Structure 1
Amino acid sequence: MKGSSHAAIGAAVGAIAGYQVQPDLYTIAISSLVGGVSALVPDLDTNGVASNRITISKKITQWLMQFVGIGILVAIIYQYFTAGFSPSILLYAGIGLLFFIVSQFITQRRMLTLTGVMVMWLGIVMHQSIGILLAGSYIVIASFLPHRSYTHSFLGLAFYAFILNHLQQEWAFEGLLAAGIAGYASHLIADMKLLPMNRRGVKWFLPFWNKEW
């Protein structure tokens, strides 16, 4: 199923969940947004639409790293001809070379890992937000997982609910947990084999049972 379809279903069930919590327009609107976004979260385990939308382009990252590497090397040459040789030159030369080497091996999936690390750092900056720290850790973990594995299981849903619970406490929005769980669960249900458009199913009970449903 396409990401747009998942988002639409998630938005609908999120709105319904928000209405059950608090039947006012503001809660329904925010819950619909939360449900739509949450319905895309399980696909962060693949280099698809969901993961690529939240990460910086690999080519842009490579260009930036090479630019930084060149800048470091230029600074080293300038220091050598103005102040002479010093042991720190070797250290900075190594750092500049490292930027060049890493830029050649970086992949879009590793950009997803870096995005998760940046989200975790944001959680530290924002008054040590546990919810944002956990959200970053989810992204980092998902970047190492094969498609339709742990993020498409009860274990992934439970971890996401744990994150939402912390965010709901920190942001004081009552519909967040219900809408997020509804959106996330809608993705897993829509990916099940019981729907004729799905060749593969969902392994709900990983890591205890590998059967696809």
Structure 2
Amino acid sequence: MTGKTHLYLGIVTGVGVEAVLNGIDIWSVNGLTEILVGGVLIGGLSALAPDLDSSGMLGKMVTESSQKARWFGFILIAILGAVALFTGFGHTTALSVVAVLLLCSLLVRDDIQRKVTLGIWGTAFAYFGFMNKETWLIAIAAFSLLCMIAKHRGLTHTVWALGLWAYVCYLIGIHFGLQNLMWVGFSGYLSHLFADSLTKERVRYFYPIIKIPFGIPWIKTGSASGTLYEFIVKAVYTIVMIGFIFVSH
């Protein structure tokens, strides 16, 4: 499936789950806010998260963020390096190291740059998570590092990664007081695996223990017929989700 299809399915799923679990009046101000933040943002992000293992829609954003941070990295090194020189080791030194690594990531290109950037992010999240005893940051670090080492449609497209992402969303939800964030994240991520199960490659849900792909080899991503079939999937999925929302209410 294309990134746009995954994003669409994730948003529809997130909005549906938020509406069902919270009994939200989607036409009220509070209801619309919860739908936009919980459903659209987290649902869409969760649906794109599995493809951080490749140069997909979210993977390209990671690479581009590294490229656009070039001058920011230079400035950060200068400022934090000077501060660290006079204050000793601490957060400033750690941030200086992150800035240097960020600049180093610009020396490589394409998929390697994505991996290096994810590694930098993971290291930074882990450092500040351990330093401040914030479990949610450590969980994000674990997922970032998983995406860094995973091959496309490998570890990130498994039930293990699904559980890790749900745990990440659970901890973020607790930290920021956002109810049902775990279920929105879980459902959005699952929508990606479900959609990929309908493609020719299918999904190895229990990799590396069981390497057999599961699903229906129906859609060839990128082909003319694949585009048509993806439209049909989105249409049917939307109708089902709307019906699910109305029935639950």
Q: TM-score range by the shorter chain?
A: 0.7 to 0.9
Distance 1:165 1:153, change over 3 A: same
2:16 and 2:10 map into 1 onto residues whose CA distance is: 10
Deviations 1:5-38 (A, max 9, x none): 1111101111111112212213333221211110
Cα drift, residue 62 of structure 1: 10
1:59 and 1:34 map into 2 onto residues whose CA distance is: 24
1:160 correspondence with 2:169: no
1:102-121 alignment to 2 at 5 Å?
A: 104=107, 107-108=112-113, 109-121=115-127
- Structure 1 contact 188–202 (Cα < 8 Å) conserved: yes
Aligned AA (2:202): G
2:211 alignment partner in structure 1: 210
2:180 alignment partner in structure 1: 175
Q: State the superposition RMSD in angstroms.
A: 3.1
1:35 alignment partner in structure 2: 43
1:10 alignment partner in structure 2: 10
Moved more, 17-26 or 106-115: 106-115
Aligned AA (2:4): S
1:60-139 alignment to 2 at 5 Å?
A: 61=70, 104=107, 107-108=112-113, 109-124=115-130, 127-139=132-144
Give the TM-score, by structure 1 length: 0.72
2:8 and 2:169 map into 1 onto residues whose CA distance is: 20
- Structure 2 contact 3–56 (Cα < 8 Å) conserved: no
Percent identity, please. Answer: 24
1:102 and 1:54 map into 2 onto residues whose CA distance is: 11
Cα drift, residue 129 of structure 1: 2.0
- Structure 2 contact 53–153 (Cα < 8 Å) conserved: yes
Deviations 1:79-136 (A, max 9, x none): xxxxxxxxxxxxxxxxxxx9898864574121221122233345457x4321122112
1:212 and 1:206 map into 2 onto residues whose CA distance is: 9
Which has the bigger relative contact order, CA under 8 A and spacing at least 6? 1
5+ long unaligned stretches in structure 1: 73-97
Distance 1:172 1:200, change over 3 A: same
| Paired positions, count | 181
Aligned AA (2:3): G
1:57 correspondence with 2:66: yes
Aligned AA (2:206): F
Give the TM-score, by structure 2 length: 0.63
2:88 alignment partner in structure 1: none
Moved more, 104-113 or 21-30: 104-113
Runs of 4+ in 1 over 6 A off after TM superposition: 98-103
1:27 and 1:50 map into 2 onto residues whose CA distance is: 23
Aligned AA (1:27): E
- SS of 2:55's partner is coil
Aligned AA (1:31): G
5+ long unaligned stretches in structure 2: 25-30, 82-99, 215-249
Cα drift, residue 52 of structure 1: 2.5
Distance 1:116 1:52, change over 3 A: farther
In terms of Rg, which structure is larger?
Answer: 1
Distance 1:164 1:101, change over 3 A: closer
Moved more, 159-168 or 147-156: 159-168
